[in-house]
Structure 1
Amino acid sequence: AEELAQAVRGLALHRYPDREAVELRARLAQAVGHEPEGTWVANGSNEILQQLLLAYGGAGRAVACFEPTYAMHARIAWTTGSEVLREELPPPWRLDAERLVRAAERAAVVFACSPNNPTGNAQDPEVLAEAARRAPGTLFVVDEAYVEFGGRSAAPLVRELPNLAVVRTFSKAFALAGARIGYCLAAPEVVEDLRRVRLPYHLSALTQAAGLVALRHRDEALAILDAVREQRDRISAALPELGVEAFPSEANFVLFRPPRPAAEVWRGLLDRGVLVRDFSTLVPGCLRVTAGTPEEVDRFLDALKEVLA
């Protein structure tokens, strides 16, 4: 925080920011092993999604989403005037190339979330790449908001596939949700299309400064994730001992189905000072808990034990 404050004090805020965010994009590209020309930054990954849909979706075009998944994919598609094609995936919620290619026959944009929110499972990048090769006229967008916690990234495949774009965020692994920094790894021509639809000076000097400070501490931030994964795996192992179905997760959360009604368990946990997410409208009977500190996980498991007693 002090380093960020110092960086902000050095900014010339009476001037407009670098509209291309050249330094941030270059540093980010170097950090993730991509080319700066194919790296784009915006105010959170939601703005990246919006820009992609403004460029490739819109009136007269369709966008495919596989549910249960991140609700903003469909919501942002709707706001851009795109037709939203929803397809339900059964557990374990794994995509296959045939399903993706069928969706691409009708859709200009196909979304895949890996690791998926709220289920936590990761998709196979090679499956996504195969679909992109077989449907070159469709843009495949891989939302990797949680990829630092687990799963294989599709980013290395972007160089050979101009119709594959990877979207990530600083909100999860970097714990910078308040800074609103998201980025896209894609072909330079995709970034050029995003440049055409972005608002002028869309990324403030403050946001760019926050991103640069975060990148200087990237290795430290990623090292902390081992502790998060440890607590996630601890939750996954403990839940079945309480008679709770836990779904495998590569993210920083665990989706679980208690033996009693989800709403009842949610309320019981809340009454004991523990807040989890109720996803029973998307996945029947299921709640989702985020892996926190060891003490927070202790409190969650103890509270759940009481609720289910």
Structure 2
Amino acid sequence: MTELTARPWLSGLAPYRPGAAAPSAAGSLSSNESALGASPHVVDAVVRAARSAHRYPDALATELRAEIAARHGIPTEQVLVGNGSDELIFLLALAFLAGGGTAVCADPAYRVDEISTQVVGGTVVSVPLAEDQHDLAAMAAVPADLAYVVNPHNPTGTLVPRDAVRRFREHSPAGLVVVDEAYIDFAPDPLAATAVPLLREGGLAVLRTFSKAFGLAGLRVGYLLAPTPVIDVLSGIRAPFSVNRLAQAAALAALRDRTHHEAVRVHTIDMRRRVSDLFTRHGYDVVPSHTNFVLVRVPDEAGLVRRLAAAGIAVRPGSALGVPGAVRVSVPGDEGWRHLQRAMADPGMLPRT
């Protein structure tokens, strides 16, 4: 019998590692989850959908796709719903990078962009950030099949303007520019920042998720807006029932509750300012953020992570995200904010060199 071995390009592949949880939900500030949770209408929608759990879900999430298309003012044929945006990233890699394709991304990158490329035998070209932002000019000099622009960027939280994305699309040799807007709802003016209006110019796709502003991280729903030929290719290779019935119902309910969505936005922007000010007052350097987290530069990363953990607060070490010498702190809810304030009042939390 022939020995079964994994493909050689998988050797040494570093897996994605999620953030650690704290003893309480309020202290879990490592995974950028919604501090206010999902819309109250989501639970009712999920309960109703559960009554038909013995039936397969709509394979293409037709009703949800139509709602998303109407929200963005594009044809339904340009929308594909996936099991989180991660499934869609893997589909892009499978379709356009398998067997030697090239993806260009920032360094540090969103790990799934890198992992999916490596899994299909593609090559990742990582371009270092310039002053915590995408160096789009340098990225445009890289011949690539796919170009990933995570905007706002994770883990720095920085945002590049739409005109900069447009210029990048015009100058990049990449076959498709993929703009990952997982955190766009937390920008000061999402409508002015989003790349969705650039779809009509071609050569560009936009990724969105229901995990952040809509609070559905546990249900795994995301979507891709892209030229119809791209959607057609991905639709042909995706798993037919990858987005389950409960997730589709939840996403529809969340999308339709604009009041809750705006409350999440307002809370996040206000609390982000408070968290930034708190760390700044304690002598830390905070990168200005357009997301539901802040990146804090620290002289003793491991020490601060350890001291916060002892106080019941989990944050993400920067070294796990490609930014050593930093910690990433998710925006908390009110209880988590009080918890963080108490923890930071300890003189032991002051910067240590």
Tell me if TM exceeds 0.5: yes
Q: What's the secondary structure of 1:269's corresponding residue?
A: helix
Which of 136, 139, 158 pairs up with 1:100?
A: 139
Cα distance change on mapping 1:9 and 1:264 into 2, 3 Å: closer
Amino acid at match of 1:279: G
Q: CA deviation at 1:123?
A: 1.7
Cα distance change on mapping 1:2 and 1:302 into 2, 3 Å: closer
Which of 256, 278, 303 pairs up with 2:296?
A: 256
Which of 210, 216, 224 pairs up with 1:176?
A: 216
The alignment status of 1:140 with 2:180, answered yes or no, reads no
The alignment status of 1:114 with 2:148, answered yes or no, reads no
Q: Is the 8 A contact 1:69 1:119 kept in 2?
A: no
Cα distance change on mapping 1:220 and 1:239 into 2, 3 Å: same
Q: Is the 8 A contact 2:146 2:174 kept in 1?
A: no
Q: Deviations over 1:272-301 (max 9, x none)?
A: 111111013521310011111233223223
The alignment status of 1:209 with 2:249, answered yes or no, reads yes
- Map 1:47-196 → 2, pairs under 5 A: 47-96=87-136, 98-103=137-142, 105=143, 107-135=144-172, 138-150=175-187, 152-161=193-202, 163-196=203-236
Question: Partners of 1:127 and 1:5 in 2: how far apart?
Answer: 40
Which of 19, 33, 43 pairs up with 2:83?
A: 43
Amino acid at match of 1:283: V
Number of residue pairs aligned between Structure 1 and Structure 2: 303
The alignment status of 1:273 with 2:312, answered yes or no, reads yes
Moved more, 64-73 or 216-225: 216-225
Q: What's the secondary structure of 2:141's corresponding residue?
A: helix
Which 5+ residue runs of structure 2 have no aligned equivalent?
A: 1-41
Amino acid at match of 2:317: D
Q: Is the 8 A contact 1:145 1:169 kept in 2?
A: yes
Cα distance change on mapping 1:55 and 1:218 into 2, 3 Å: farther
Q: TM-score, normalised by structure 2?
A: 0.81
Cα distance change on mapping 1:272 and 1:137 into 2, 3 Å: closer
Query: Could you tell me which residue of structure 1 aligns to residue 266 of structure 2?
Result: 226
Higher relative contact order (CA 8 A, sep 6+): 2
Q: Is the 8 A contact 1:144 1:167 kept in 2?
A: yes
Which 5+ residue runs of structure 1 have no aligned equivalent?
A: none
Q: CA deviation at 1:136?
A: 5.9
Moved more, 77-86 or 112-121: 77-86
Cα distance change on mapping 1:167 and 1:2 into 2, 3 Å: closer
Question: Partners of 2:45 and 2:182 in 1: how far apart?
Answer: 23
Query: Could you tell me which residue of structure 2 aligns to residue 308 of structure 1?
Result: 349
Q: CA deviation at 1:242?
A: 0.8
Which of 278, 281, 297 pairs up with 1:238?
A: 278
Query: Could you tell me which residue of structure 2 aligns to residue 21 of structure 1?
Result: 61
Amino acid at match of 1:265: L
Tell me how large the CA RMSD over aligned residues is: 1.8
Question: Partners of 1:266 and 1:131 in 2: how far apart?
Answer: 37
Q: CA deviation at 1:218?
A: 3.6
Query: Could you tell me which residue of structure 1 aligns to residue 32 of structure 2?
Result: none
Q: Is the 8 A contact 1:142 1:166 kept in 2?
A: yes
